[in-house]
Amino acid sequence: MTASVHRHELYTVEQVRALDHHAIHELGIPGYELMERAAAAALVCLRAHWPQARRIAVYCGVGNNGGDGFLLAALAREAGLHAEVVALGESRGEDAQRARRVFEQAGGVVHVWRGQPVLPDAQVQVDALFGTGLQRALAPDVAQLVQQIHAVGTPVLALDVPSGVNADTGEVPGTAVRADVTVSFIAAKRGLHTGQAPGYVGQLQLDPLGLPDALWQGFSPDARLLQPATLPPRPRQAHKGDNGHVLAIGGEHGTAGAIRLSAEAALRGGAGLVSVATRGEHLLALNCARPELMAHAVNGPQALEPLLQRASVLAVGPGLGQGAWGHALWLTALDAGLPLVLDADGLNLLAREPRTFTVPAVITPHPGEAARLLGCDTSAIGADRFAAVRELARRYGVVAVLKGAGSLVADPAGQVALCPWGNPGMASGGMGDLLTGIVAALMAQGCDPWQAATLGVGLHARAGDLAARRGGERGLIASDLLEPLRLLLNGRES
């Protein structure tokens, strides 16, 4: 068994340090040898992505990340490339100092960064300024260097972590390197996959540096990347009653679209029956557009009660509003004791009137809704998305989905999964309504909340990617995902 089996495991910075320490002190692999392996992996990555490049510039910090950079520059020179190094200052630590000497003894010249206006002429620029340990904004002089690197306009390879990105949380507190490719070493850092980080890492590659599986014994990852999955084929004798009955509740005046998208996603997600409880003014449009939905005019809790008696799972919140009508339906739905998915105004009402759920429940907030649910501001959510999603799950007794780039799913016990799919085209109205319906449909078909949330988030994001491949990201709308969703649920991608 090799380290490749751990590629889908995500680790905190503290855990990565412990793995590094374990490799050195328990497995007997010297730190300098790890640095040599990282440099060799970086050169392979560089030549794979830019095989025509003959000139590189490497920007080295004073620590071990800079040491990786010095050795990469030395290896590049041995391979016949022209490599120049710009360093922030004198190297610190025995291994980093040794790496610098190797570069200099091979004839390399180190240019110390002092704000010079012209950078080396290079076809690829390599960021080896800071590694996993940096959790603050770059200093002004380093930020100036990063801005000049970007201004040159040539491709950037980042070693381990793009400098300025918090590898633990995904936060970018100031200027940071925007890499075209990031080659990360030993173990996957959880923060590189979520929050602001995906906009900076570019194409992310993990190289475990040939370390044995024994390295990971006794280390449990902090989170895991989702893997492609779907439901098993249905038995030939299946009927609609076997696949559950979703009741979608919402659609205040003027918001018929939100509840229709959610309900239609529940149909495309495989629910056997889908009913809609909404304002009477929406019935004609819903029946004309999607006659498979059973749309009902509901003017208050009494009209909702008979629909609740027939439902197996509730999808509450899309277009619900926070007025008297929405609040009354929300209370009635939550008191019905049915499994449910809560989103949009269903979450805003929960923030006003918190409760801990005793029924199977999934909540799907975006960062703004998450902030209201936790009584903080949105910046606090972005500062540590992993802590936020865990607290949401714990506080409300639910499986929580924190949406955004690198959506996170957590259960009350602290288990976390991260979605590696999705694209910027999905930043448009109605996408969250779809997710609510998909997750509700999966619960209706027998998935528990964790299974429904992780599978639903993955299918939703993959459907978005498939739709974007067909027509592009810009202009992607929520309903574009419905047919790709159906294909993915049936094990097809074309």
Domain ranges of the chain: 3-223, 240-489
Do the Cβ atoms of 134 and 163 come closer than 8 Å? yes
Q: What's the token pair of residue 80?
A: 């016949």
User: How are strands ordered across the β-sheet holding 181-185?
Assistant: 110-112, 82-87, 55-60, 124-128, 156-159, 181-185, 203-207
Cβ neighbours of residue 318 closer than 8 Å, sequence gap 6 or more: 248, 250, 251, 255, 258, 259, 261, 262, 343, 344, 432, 433, 436
Homologous superfamily of 3-223: YjeF N-terminal domain (3.40.50.10260)
- The token pair at 116 is 């010079």
Ramachandran angles phi, psi of 231, nearest 5°: -85, 155
User: Dihedral sign, CA of 355, 359, 436, 224?
Assistant: positive
Residues near 271 by beta carbon (within 8 Å), at least 6 away in sequence: 243, 244, 245, 246, 313, 440, 441, 444, 445
From edge to edge, which strands make up the β-sheet containing 408-410? 188-189, 9-11, 223-225, 416-418, 408-410, 399-402, 361-363, 340-342, 313-316, 245-249, 273-278, 294-297
pLDDT tens for the chain, residues 1 to 494: 344 568 899 999 999 999 999 999 999 999 999 999 999 999 999 999 999 999 999 999 999 999 999 999 999 999 999 999 999 999 999 999 999 999 999 999 899 999 888 899 999 999 999 988 788 999 999 999 999 999 999 999 999 999 999 999 999 999 999 999 999 999 999 999 999 999 999 999 999 999 999 999 888 999 999 999 999 888 888 888 879 999 999 999 999 999 999 999 999 999 999 999 999 999 999 999 999 999 999 999 999 999 999 999 999 999 999 999 999 999 999 999 999 999 999 999 999 999 999 999 999 999 999 999 999 999 999 999 999 999 999 999 999 999 999 999 999 999 999 999 999 999 999 999 999 999 999 999 999 999 999 999 999 999 999 999 999 999 999 999 999 999 999 998 76
Please name which of 198, 54, 72, 191 lies closest in space to residue 127, comparing C-alpha atoms.
Answer: 72
Homologous superfamily of 240-489 in CATH? Ribokinase (3.40.1190.20)
Q: Give me the count of residues in the chain.
A: 494
